[in-house]
Amino acid sequence: MAKILVDVNVILDAILNRDDISKEVLDKLAESQNELFITASMVATLDYFLTKYEANKKEFKKEFFNKFKVITTSGRNALNALDFEDGEDALIALAFKRIAEDGIIITHDKKFPSNGLLVLTPEEALNNHKLFSQQNNEPIPLLDLQKEYRYVMEEIDERILECIAESKYILGPEVSELEQKVANYIGTKHAIGVSSGTDALVISLRALAIKNKGQEYWNKEDFIITTPFTFTATGDAILRAGATPLFVDIDPATFNIDPEQIKKAILKYREKVTGILPVHLYGQPVNMDEIIKIAKENNLFVVEDCAQSFGAKWDGKQTGSFGDTGCFSFFPSKNLGGFGDGGMITTDDDELAEIIRILRKHGGKDKYNVDHIGYNARLDTLQAAILLAKISHIDDFNNRRRKIASFYDEHLKEIAWVKMSEVHKKAYHVYHQYTINLLNKKRDEIQRRLKEKGIQTMVYYPVTLHKMKVFKNRCECVGEPRNAIEATQQVLSLPIEPMNGKEICRKVVEGVRSLG
């Protein structure tokens, strides 16, 4: 799959029917899986000729820019272009190379300044069969953030430039706008932007301690039930909030916390248990009917760890809208990811929302006269701007992930040593990861052999939390979490890049099936 910029002279010859070869190239490129680009500097030339020949610009924009992405041309690109003999063409090459170091330029101009890029005439392009082949021999990454950026770069670049020009970098208007959009999307009264998913968890737990106990932190005698099969931040947040993690085993069918084990933990520890912190692991919702029922019967709070589940639903309702709070991460690899750290807390509780807003900003309404031990944990305005550009694509991207997962399910189901996680009929899984369970196979060997085939995989997670040094003598367990331990030894996550087409997914499937 190549990244190709088509020069304006080829485009005009094609759309004005001035050259059959140019038209054939453009048609074949439009039907291919390649990424197609022009630069912003080329649009004025296109506009001139569209106006001159009285073309329907609205229709052209709709059709043409459905396939071609427009690369932002920077002022520095323009200045550097003056160092070349042909500044106009150099500007195109400089802007294109910024986003595609291995890109290809198709042009009639044989003197086009390549700037190290491959330059082809339309005739040469037609004879280069690799450009139109459906075969993909490139390594398949678990996730391709550069490709995702290129897909939405027009919106992202615009949002970033506006934010920088506005220069309101701390809790600027983009943060408020994103908070409102997330609240509307999740279906809660409040959404509060914070600096990371981890801080979302810590601040939520701290806010609940202040509200429920009237003190800054929980006590060690306060137990919060959670899963040992998750990222470190989940258990670490409980420690940082002053409480003790109480680990219970998972349901091996879903990898999520098992409600029956939660009941056992409450029976054993009774009044020491103060809350439940379920994790919607890999993008699959926990059985929230059971969690909320247990919480209400035992007067416990619920903080949802939604770091991997933006857009996931249980019985038609968004994760993050069930508990006292929902905690989201905008780490770059998440389904909705920024260009750095970021997070969000959702809640319907007005009092909690007020405390959370205070804690994220040093602990007081007045930063020179604070009430609580707070944090410098605000969501960056630049990150909010980027997320605003991406949030309109979240449903599309999640749907793409679900289609890939469905393809994997269909083509891997007959492999005896592969077990897929089960998805409850009430769960809308958004597949932050597509994770399989390897039965009777040596995982390291499977992972190595897939890597040799150019297929990247990852293990989430290789160690249960209760076995980590940080939790030694700082946690409790309800028995040995055997299912969680077994999962750490057998799980393997396959590529789930939402931009991947069927050919790439087929290569992944064939790679797994070939291992016997």
pLDDT of 464-485, one tens digit each? 999 999 999 999 999 999 999 9
Q: Beta-carbon neighbour count of residue 299 at 10 Å?
A: 11
457 and 450 Cβ atoms separated by less than 8 Å: yes
Report cis status (omega within 30 of 0) of the bond before 461: yes
pLDDT digits (tens, 9 = 90+) for 194-236: 999 999 999 999 999 999 999 999 999 999 999 999 999 999 9
Span 3-134: which CATH code? 3.40.50.1010
The maximal CA–CA distance of the chain, rounded, in angstroms, is 81
> How far apart, in whole angstroms, are the C-alpha atoms of residue 35 and residue 37?
7
Give alpha helix (H) positions in 373-513: 381-391, 394-412, 443-452, 482-490, 502-513
22 and 134 Cβ atoms separated by less than 8 Å: no
Low-confidence ranges of the chain (pLDDT < 70): none
Locus of tokens 């409040």: 190
Span 394-513: which CATH code? 3.90.1150.10
Per-residue pLDDT, 45: 94
Least Cα distance to 420 among 228, 252, 227, 257 occurs for 252
Question: Concatenated DSSP letters for 265-310?
Answer: HHHHHGGGEEEEE-B-GGGPPP-HHHHHHHHHHTT-EEEEE-TT-T
**What is the number of H-type helices and E-type strands within the chain?**
19, 19
**Would you give the DSSP letter of residue 317?**
E
> How far apart, in whole angstroms, are the C-alpha atoms of residue 429 and residue 404?
12
* Whether this model's pTM surpasses 0.85: yes
> How far apart, in whole angstroms, are the C-alpha atoms of residue 447 and residue 492?
8
Amino acid at site 183: A
Per-residue pLDDT, 441: 84
Least Cα distance to 245 among 273, 286, 203, 271 occurs for 273
CA atoms within 13 A on the CB side of 60: 16
Give the orientation angle of helix 259-269 with respect to helix 288-297, to 10 degrees. Answer: 20
Q: Beta-carbon neighbour count of residue 257 at 10 Å?
A: 31
**Would you give the DSSP letter of residue 257?**
B
The tokens describing 486, both together, are: 């077994």
Residues 6 or more apart whose Cβ sits within 8 Å of residue 73:
39, 40, 41, 91, 95
Amino acid at site 30: A
**Would you give the DSSP letter of residue 131?**
G
Radius of gyration of the chain from its Cα atoms, rounded to whole angstroms = 26
Chain centroid to CA 413: how far? 26
Least Cα distance to 428 among 307, 260, 286 occurs for 286
Per-residue pLDDT, 110: 86
Per-residue pLDDT, 372: 97
> How far apart, in whole angstroms, are the C-alpha atoms of residue 178 and residue 418?
40
Amino acid at site 425: K
The tokens describing 399, both together, are: 């749907």
Per-residue pLDDT, 138: 87
Per-residue pLDDT, 511: 97
**Would you give the DSSP letter of residue 12?**
H
Q: What are the residue ranges spanned by the domains of the chain?
A: 3-134, 151-391, 394-513
Amino acid at site 245: P
**Ramachandran angles phi, psi of 243, nearest 5°:** -95, 180
DSSP-assigned beta bridge partners for residue 277 = 226
**Ramachandran angles phi, psi of 413, nearest 5°:** -65, -25
> How far apart, in whole angstroms, are the C-alpha atoms of residue 226 and residue 261?
10
Distances (CA, A) of 203 to 116, 123, 227, 372: 50, 61, 19, 12
> How far apart, in whole angstroms, are the C-alpha atoms of residue 111 and residue 98?
21
> How far apart, in whole angstroms, are the C-alpha atoms of residue 305 and residue 200?
9
3-state secondary structure 136-169: CCCCECCCCHHHHHHHHHHHHHHHHHHHHHHCCC
Q: Which fold has domain 151-391?
A: Aspartate Aminotransferase; domain 2 (3.40.640)
Could you tell me whether strands 325-329 and 343-347 are parallel, antiparallel, or unpaired per DSSP bridges?
antiparallel
Distances (CA, A) of 454 to 77, 148, 467, 510: 35, 20, 33, 12
